């Protein structure tokens, strides 16, 4: 099934502007948001806010409701967002402030949240030297904002939970599927591998070796003794907004969970590239990192190919490029392990 997005109009979103005490003047769909619609609302008094809209029409993955007890289930929806926003606020980590939440579906067949608009660019814009980023000399900006990012990570990762899983589950006293973080990662990686075997000949040719490697890497992971850490889950520089005063705020927070911190660092290393050295930390478990690195690469092959099957992603060649890059990384890891 292919999902075709309908862009919401001023008429669609005007009731939500009134809910936060404004008259809506204009609506602009913002880039990104493969699981939800993201719209900037421009009000008649020249102020702005952002609307998040979670509906099947806005979700390019066509995944349907996920079971939140699975830490890696589809991270979408108002319940996950509000739980994550509350947890980040309690932790002292900035995210767009929630102005209004509407789960009633009165005006749209969707959950809707209105949040503060954080104008300017993302940390990715700043590191790439994009003009939308905070106006500083680039070398100074890089160093300053990476220091802020490292401090944000210290604050985030100093928070722990009583068990692993999505914040919305754990903070409400629930429990997640799986015996450990590593076991959940292994199960997901084997599922991704099975999916890829059916669609990618280069994976089919080495399926037994990859399955054996995953099992061997998982066998080296010793049971953890530390409580699960609060992590974002997909923390690239595109998920960090830089405010005009230079503060950093996390966005796309629905996947917030308690998990092994190594899972976060594998993704940070992938997305921050050579900037990751400023974010590196001591004490990470190298065995977990090896397992999670291979699992992440497999996920970043399977996920983009799945998205291309079911959605109308605006840049399919970009998504195919992601899948191809990470397939190369999977095959390289397998070759190096031989």
Q: Are 166 and 68 in contact (CB under 8 A)?
A: yes
Q: Are 278 and 147 in contact (CB under 8 A)?
A: yes
Query: Among candidates 41, 49, 51, 24, which has minimal Cα distance to 111?
Result: 51
What CATH number belongs to 123-337? 3.90.1200.10
CA atoms of 131 and 111, how far apart (whole Å): 34
**What architecture is domain 19-116?**
2-Layer Sandwich (3.30)
The pLDDT assigned to 3 comes to: 46
Instruction: Based on DSSP, count helices (H) and strands (E) in the chain, helices before strands.
Output: 11, 10
CA dihedral 165, 169, 173, 179 (to 10 degrees): -30
Write out the chain's pLDDT in tens, 338 residues: 444 568 999 999 999 999 999 999 999 999 766 889 999 999 999 999 999 999 988 888 866 667 999 999 989 999 999 999 999 999 999 999 999 999 999 999 999 999 999 987 899 998 987 654 454 544 455 678 999 999 999 999 999 999 999 999 999 999 999 999 999 999 999 999 999 999 999 999 999 999 999 999 999 999 988 899 999 999 999 999 998 888 999 999 999 999 999 999 999 999 999 999 999 999 999 999 999 999 999 999 999 999 888 766 778 899 999 999 999 999 999 999 98
CA atoms of 18 and 48, how far apart (whole Å): 13
pLDDT tens-digit series, residues 88-136: 999 999 999 999 999 999 999 999 999 999 987 899 998 987 654 454 5
Grouping H, G, I as helix, E, B as strand and the rest as coil, residue 288 is: helix
The pLDDT assigned to 22 comes to: 98
CA atoms of 259 and 247, how far apart (whole Å): 26
Cβ atoms within 10 Å of 69's Cβ, excluding its own: 14
Helix segments in the chain, DSSP class H: 10-19, 78-91, 123-128, 138-157, 167-170, 181-197, 201-204, 207-219, 261-272, 286-310, 316-337
The pLDDT assigned to 309 comes to: 84
The pLDDT assigned to 31 comes to: 79
The pLDDT assigned to 59 comes to: 85
pLDDT tens-digit series, residues 166-209: 999 999 999 999 999 999 999 999 999 999 999 999 999 999 99
Which residues of the chain are in CATH 3.90.1200.10 domains?
123-337
Strand partners, 122: 241
Which residues of the chain are in CATH 3.30.200 domains?
19-116
CA atoms of 73 and 211, how far apart (whole Å): 22
Grouping H, G, I as helix, E, B as strand and the rest as coil, residue 243 is: coil
């Amino acid at each position: 099934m292919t999902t075709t997005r309908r862009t919401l109009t001023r008429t669609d979103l005007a009731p939500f502007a009134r809910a936060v005490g404004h008259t809506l003047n204009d609506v602009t769909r913002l880039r990104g948001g493969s699981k939800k619609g993201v719209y900037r609302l421009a009000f008649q008094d020249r102020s702005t806010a952002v609307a998040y809209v979670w509906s099947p029409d806005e979700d390019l993955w066509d995944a349907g409701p996920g079971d939140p007890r699975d830490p890696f289930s589809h991270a979408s929806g108002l319940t996950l967002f509000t739980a994550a926003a509350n947890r980040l606020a309690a932790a002292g980590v900035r995210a767009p402030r929630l102005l209004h939440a509407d789960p009633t579906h009165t005006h749209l067949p969707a959950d809707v949240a209105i949040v503060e608009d954080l104008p300017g660019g993302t940390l990715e814009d700043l590191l790439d030297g994009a003009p939308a980023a905070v106006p500083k000399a680039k070398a100074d900006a890089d160093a300053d904002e990476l220091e802020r990012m490292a401090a944000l990570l210290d604050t985030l990762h100093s928070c722990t939970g009583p068990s692993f899983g999505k914040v919305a589950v754990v903070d409400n006293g629930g429990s997640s599927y799986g015996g450990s973080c590593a076991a959940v990662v292994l199960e997901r990686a084997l599922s991704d591998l099975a999916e890829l075997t059916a669609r990618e000949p280069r994976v089919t040719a080495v399926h037994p070796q990859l399955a054996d490697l995953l099992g061997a890497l998982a066998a080296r992971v010793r049971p953890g003794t530390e409580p699960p850490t609060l992590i974002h889950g997909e923390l690239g520089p595109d998920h960090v907004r830089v405010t005009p005063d230079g503060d950093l705020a996390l966005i796309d927070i629905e996947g917030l969970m308690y998990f092994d911190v190594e899972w976060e660092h594998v993704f940070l290393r992938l997305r921050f590239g050579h900037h990751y050295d400023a974010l590196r930390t001591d004490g990470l478990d190298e065995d977990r990192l090896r397992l999670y690195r291979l699992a992440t690469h497999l996920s970043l092959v399977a996920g983009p190919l799945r998205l291309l099957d079911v959605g109308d992603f605006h840049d399919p060649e970009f998504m195919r490029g992601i899948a191809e890059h990470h397939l190369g990384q999977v095959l390289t890891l397998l070759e190096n392990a031989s």
